[in-house]
Structure 1
Amino acid sequence: MKKLALFFSLACSLLLSGCATTFSSQVSVFHEWPAANQDKSYIFERAPGQENNPEHKLYEDMLRGRLQNLGFKEVVAGTTPVLKVELQYATTLREVQYSPFWQPGIYDPYWGLHFSRGIYRRHYIYYSPFWGLPAYPRGWSDINMRSTFLHQLQIRITELNGNKKLADIKASSEQFNPEISLYVPYLMDSALKDFPGKNGSTSKVEFTINN
């Protein structure tokens, strides 16, 4: 009987691993992209804290390849580019359901949705009168609590001379998993789909993902 149960469990795992899921995101686009051929030479501009950050470097590498496919060219040292590209990302605790045995989860009101503030920090806090702040480490979960997380990514392209903003694209997706690293590639693909996109639009973008 135990062998049969084990076989059934393995079979279900294999079956689920071959299933396809849909990644859904909301993308907002604002741009003044020139109608004429644009020189797409660029450099990355990094905010304080992004320099020498392994996570940020990984995401830059992902974006670098996608920009290259769109005709952008990162300049070498000693060459003056036309554009600068900024990459930001964040995770917001969206909703917490809790039992009467636990205090409700909250997140810092400093957060807003869709990058309404200018600083991006990846943390969230649960409050308990017994423990103070923070009560639980990042990523803590309990069977009595169910959270959703809004993962957000922003790509901004600006002229180096004159500082004119040419494109500001934001993508967000609500997920149960708090780890944004799992979704950054899909958020980038969503943000750059049909680049530069329709100015002033907000649309739902979906991708099929083979698990």
Structure 2
Amino acid sequence: MKLDRLTRHAATVLAALAMLLAGCTTYVTTQVTAFSDWSGSDATRTYAFTRTQDQKNNLEQDTYEQIVANELALHAFRQTGERDAHYLVALAYGMRPDTVIVAQPVYYNPWPGPYYWGRPFDPWGPWGPWGPYPTGYVNQSYPVYTHLLAIRITDRATGKEMYNVTARNTDEQSSLIAAMPFLARSAMSDFPLANGAVRTVKLPVDGKGGLSNEVAADSPAPSVPASGAKTVQ
């Protein structure tokens, strides 16, 4: 009987949470770190992608370059052949599995049921003000995955590094391709960031789990200004 009552309570709470979440916007939160010596102008923002030996003839690389190219275009970058490019853009990316451990409370009820008053709110139930009571905690482990994208922009003529930005986020999904639009948008957000900028970017998710076109919210952290770079407010 006690198990049935707890099951009904759990089902009620989960249904309520589902209704609340249905009306809320979900965000992907990404940490961005940038190092910059940017002094370019819109007139010189021609670029070509450069690849390592392992990235050549690679369809995955092609896919990620297209995603990054879309974001670069929003900042007046124009893709050309390597001979005509002012900048070279290199990508590095990856996914790493990990595990998080969360302490979950264990409850007991000093007045076992059944109780029929007060429904659907049972004051003696797990969500009522008088019980049941936590007796301790049990550690639960959950798999998570960290996704990473690094974008490095160098001057083709001199080889000088002009901009190096890394975007990293973690969630329960292992797919790097699903995370890549969020990583690329976050990495290029407010380009160019100041040298040493560290910020958190929150991007809304659409109904299909992809990047939404809604306005993103972000929380920049203090950074060290660099010559020619824009300071994050």
Q: Is TM-score (shorter-chain normalized) higher than 0.5?
A: yes
CA distance in structure 1 between the aligned counterparts of 2:18 and 2:170, rounded to whole angstroms: 25
Q: Tell me if 1:22 matches 2:27.
A: yes
From 206, 209, 212, give the equivalent of 1:210: 206
Q: Which amino acid aligns with 1:52?
A: N
Q: Which amino acid aligns with 2:158?
A: G
CA distance in structure 2 between the aligned counterparts of 1:84 and 1:179, rounded to whole angstroms: 27
Across the two proteins, how many residue pairs are aligned to each other? 157
What TM-score do you get using the length of structure 2 for normalisation?
A: 0.60
CA distance in structure 1 between the aligned counterparts of 2:161 and 2:65, rounded to whole angstroms: 20
Deviation at 1:37, TM superposition (A): 5.0
Runs of 4+ aligned residues of structure 1 deviating over 4 Å after TM superposition are 12-19, 35-38
From 62, 74, 99, give the equivalent of 1:57: 62
From 31, 46, 51, give the equivalent of 1:46: 51
Amino-acid identity (%): 27
CA distance in structure 2 between the aligned counterparts of 1:166 and 1:86, rounded to whole angstroms: 12
5+ residue gaps, structure 2, are 1-16, 102-139, 208-233
CA distance in structure 2 between the aligned counterparts of 1:35 and 1:163, rounded to whole angstroms: 14
Instruction: Look up the match of 2:151.
Output: 155
CA distance in structure 1 between the aligned counterparts of 2:22 and 2:60, rounded to whole angstroms: 27
Instruction: Look up the match of 1:85.
Output: 89
Counterpart contact for 1:18–1:210, Cα < 8 Å:
no
Q: Tell me if 1:193 matches 2:222.
A: no
Q: Which amino acid aligns with 2:29?
A: S
Instruction: Look up the match of 1:127.
Output: none
Secondary structure at the aligned position of 1:195 is classed as coil
User: Residues 18 and 88 from structure 1, CA distance in 2 versus in 1: closer, same or farther, beyond 3 angstroms?
Assistant: farther
Alignment root-mean-square deviation, CA: 2.8
Counterpart contact for 2:154–2:163, Cα < 8 Å:
yes
By relative contact order (CA 8 Å, sep 6+), the higher-ranking structure is 1
Whose Rg is larger? Answer: 2
Instruction: Look up the match of 1:94.
Output: 98
User: Residues 38 and 196 from structure 1, CA distance in 2 versus in 1: closer, same or farther, beyond 3 angstroms?
Assistant: farther
Instruction: Look up the match of 1:68.
Output: 73
Instruction: Look up the match of 1:102.
Output: none
CA distance in structure 1 between the aligned counterparts of 2:31 and 2:73, rounded to whole angstroms: 24
Deviation at 1:162, TM superposition (A): 1.4
CA distance in structure 2 between the aligned counterparts of 1:74 and 1:176, rounded to whole angstroms: 34
User: Residues 14 and 64 from structure 1, CA distance in 2 versus in 1: closer, same or farther, beyond 3 angstroms?
Assistant: farther
Secondary structure at the aligned position of 1:178 is classed as coil
What TM-score do you get using the length of structure 1 for normalisation?
A: 0.65
The structure where strand makes up a greater share of residues is: 2
CA distance in structure 2 between the aligned counterparts of 1:63 and 1:146, rounded to whole angstroms: 31
CA distance in structure 1 between the aligned counterparts of 2:29 and 2:157, rounded to whole angstroms: 36
CA distance in structure 1 between the aligned counterparts of 2:21 and 2:178, rounded to whole angstroms: 18
Q: Which amino acid aligns with 2:85?
A: P
